[in-house]
Amino acid sequence: MKNILIIGASSAIAQATARIWAKQQAAFFLVGRDRAKLERLAQDLLVRGASKAEIGVVDFLSIAEHQGAISRACESLGNLDIALLAHGSLTDQARGEQNNQYAVEELTLNFSTAVSFLTLVASRMSAQKQGAIAVIGSVAGDRGRSSNYFYGAAKAGLAAFTQGLRQRLSKENVHVLLIKPGFVDTPMTSEFKKGFLWASPDQVAKDIDNAITKKKNTLYTPWFWAWIMLIIQHIPEPIFKKLKL
């Protein structure tokens, strides 16, 4: 029976992953913004087999609330076996280009608040000398593109942070996984036209569960994104800047 903390629990990918763990009788502490959504998910996980599902409501942008949420999670669960960091927002690129205030808020939400939670969880797990931290990044962080560089920059920052954290915590028996989903059909992407590259949250969730079990460092999900991003990263900049991506 695993003790699992999820930050941003009502995100579609987090929810799908939690449902896999619920079948394994996991105990959950679910952190998010919206009480109604968290309660709905907690009930669902209990019916699906979870041994426990408690919730913590936070305003992500209010950094002062983070410590309290993590403390409550630890009171509820005791040791943390897995922490999944899944909160975030798909930045409206056009709006960011016009509004620096919005751009900074989005970067704070997608990067700084994640750093805050990761720092708190890292202390806890390094004291435990055990655990796994899984962070949802994005393929958008692999190379800045004109269509989503606010979002991409935050996820790129998160990738560098996670790398450093992994190196530090590897000495403490704590595993750090960075997850890079490609296109996933979720409420966050409801406005997009879906094609053959799109995956379901359930597919992505299976990959995440597997990658944690196998202690992978980086997970591209679905797998073919590793190849797509390898190509995209190797396009020479003089050519890349002329592309529409």
Partner 1 sequence: MKISGWGRFPTTDAKLITPVDLNAWKKSLQDKGEIISRGLGRSYGDSANASLVLQSDYLDHYINFDVEQGILRCEAGLSLHQILNCIIPKGWFLPVTPGSGYVTIGGAVASDVHGKNHHISGAFGDHVLSIELLLGSGEVLVVSRSQFPELFHATCGGMGLTGVILSVALKLKAIKSSNICQTTIKVKNLEEILHQFDVNQASTYSVAWIDCLAKGAQLGRSILMLGEHATESELLLAEPKKLAVPVEMPSTLLNTYSISAFNALYYARAKNAIHQSEVSYMNYFYPLDGLRNWNRLYGKRGFVQYQFVLPKASGYKGMRDILERISNAGKGSFLAVLKGFGPQNSNHLSFPLEGYTLALDFKAEQSTFDLIKTLDPLVVGYGGRMYLAKDALMSQETFKKGYPRWMEFEEIRNKYHALGKFASSQSRRLGLA
In this structure, what are the phi and psi dihedrals at residue 82, rounded to the nearest 5 degrees? -135, 135
- Is 229 in a helix, a strand, or coil? helix
Please tell me whether residue 37 binds partner 1 under the rule CB under 8 A.
Answer: yes
Query: Which listed range, 44-52, 56-64, 78-86, 173-181, lies at the site for partner 1 (CB under 8 A)?
Result: 44-52
Tell me if the bond preceding 238 is cis, omega within 30° of 0.
no
The structure tokens listed for 178 are 């960075």
CB of 97 to partner 1, least distance (A): 27
| 36 binds partner 1 per the rule CB under 8 A | yes
Residue pair 188/90 in contact by the 8 Å Cβ criterion = yes
Per-residue binder mask for partner 1 (CB under 8 A), 138-177, x = binder:
----------------------------------------
Under the binding rule (CB under 8 A), the answer on residue 33 touching partner 1 is: no
Q: Pick the piece of the chain touching partner 1 (CB under 8 A) from 33-41, 69-77, 159-167, 230-238.
A: 33-41
Q: How far is the CB of 42 from partner 1 (least distance, A)?
A: 10
> What is the Cα–Cα distance from 101 to 92, expressed in whole angstroms?
13
Question: Closest Cα partner for 25 from 1, 6, 55?
Answer: 1
Site residues for partner 1, 177-196, by CB under 8 A, read: 187, 190
Q: In angstroms, what is the minimal distance from the CB of 22 to partner 1?
A: 10
Closer residue to partner 1, CB minimum distance, 50 or 132 = 50
What six digits make up the tokens of 95? Answer: 């709006």
Structural tokens at position 61:
């942008």
